A and B are shown apart, each in its own frame.
Chain A
């Protein structure tokens, strides 16, 4: 009997050895693979929410996103809070345990969740001392007062505003309407989060998409800044004269290019200067300029400003990285020269920002910024600093130059042309009573997308024109003119840009 009992013992030892083996396999050998299985999302998220995620701050110290201790009984240690709500929805993005991340929450996740290499020592000491891990905080370039002013100025109109510092590329304000409150899809019960998500994704006006950076619209006449640059860079002066027909007859077709509201520019005179065509925003003039400069030069100029070459209708996506940016950014589009080879009339339309030209407010602000910054275009910068949990900077993002699309001389000529748009041209009435009037250089745009819809109203500007310490470049779009079929860039978009400029320059009181 005893012999059997000993054998039973050996048998049990073998059975338990199998258990130890299996435990070692699941918990050590294959642990990473199993734990990272997508079906283990619940645990992965709970692990993420164990970290006291870092804060997102504006340059003036306003908290945009922070982690707060979760309510009693929650499976999570921390909840994400967005004290400024929808005002910064597209900048912070959301941090949803069900629907993932967007915006800076996504782009800077490694830093915010404390996984950045600079925090390795901090993490180790937290682990040893049993403290919850803390993420790094990030400082963004946004000026909170300006962001508020821009959002107030845009009001309930659908559209977007981008304001940058032309000398550094710093984003000062970035507003898109309609927006969303990231809190709704980040924190709360699963049911509430799902309901909010469904409402936001089902909404026809797509509030989750930023009109300032993600969407593309025809630029209309605001693109004439690029066309004028091409002319100036290719030997045509500000006073170069152009024939001034009522309508421009186009090669290869019976179609004609008309001026806005079908007017005859410059009082119906026989010729018109480049300056006058710009100030009055003459399509006839700029159609001729584009045709005269040529497809290759136009495309090269657009590319130098960061517009991505496309080949419609087969290839409309951008296949190369043009302007780097921390958030999702659709840079502008301009067709490849080959596109115009056997359709010359379209080059005239492209010269006035129609056909397949596309852009958005951030893109336009960068273009205006290049003019303001003596021809040098800066990379847009949103994040300046990563701070460790004690508030010490551990990483800085420097100011980077993107390109030199135009010469200093061209920039000065364009500045003069854009000043006159404000002082006596299409933006005159918007700035007539502004103390900033003499300092602002701008260009209006009224872009017809679909015939049946009201046109998009654009204004692209910078101030102060000429040397100044504190400059701002701003671009505004009011989508479909806010529903007003009579809307123009000068009437609808320019007053919004004016409010932003005045807010930034403190009412333009000279010292």
Chain B
């Protein structure tokens, strides 16, 4: 049976729900049964956010089982670590190389250093790709396209036609932001191209 499970993790307000919507559209275009699950409400107020996307011939649970995800798309380094347990052993982590600090005073545990982050991710993942998506988004002039840059990088690793992704992005984002998002998507793809070279 064909199946692909994704977990997207980051901080509320990073455009995670939009990214998982696009991923679902890709899944539908590829002919999969699709389910997705998010948490809405209070948890979104700057808190840790996770979205599950499941593609298969028939999907039952909208939640990816712990240890079952083929891909982890991390919008923020700490959150990628927090949810790394969802990856299946040998799965792939694509992570925005960006740190969003936690609230000072209350949180006594320090933000992990890069070596620790790498160690946590590699404990599960067969492959870890860090993408400077936040920085690239700023260069493109809009922080909000960080999500689509990450999707561009992810698209290189999923066996699928490029046009399917481009169409899903174009359909889901607001018309006036379409061109910018398609550029962001291409930017993300180029990152993986570079790291594979």
**Do A and B bind?**
no
Contacts from B to A (Cβ < 8 Å): none
Contacts from A to B (Cβ < 8 Å): none
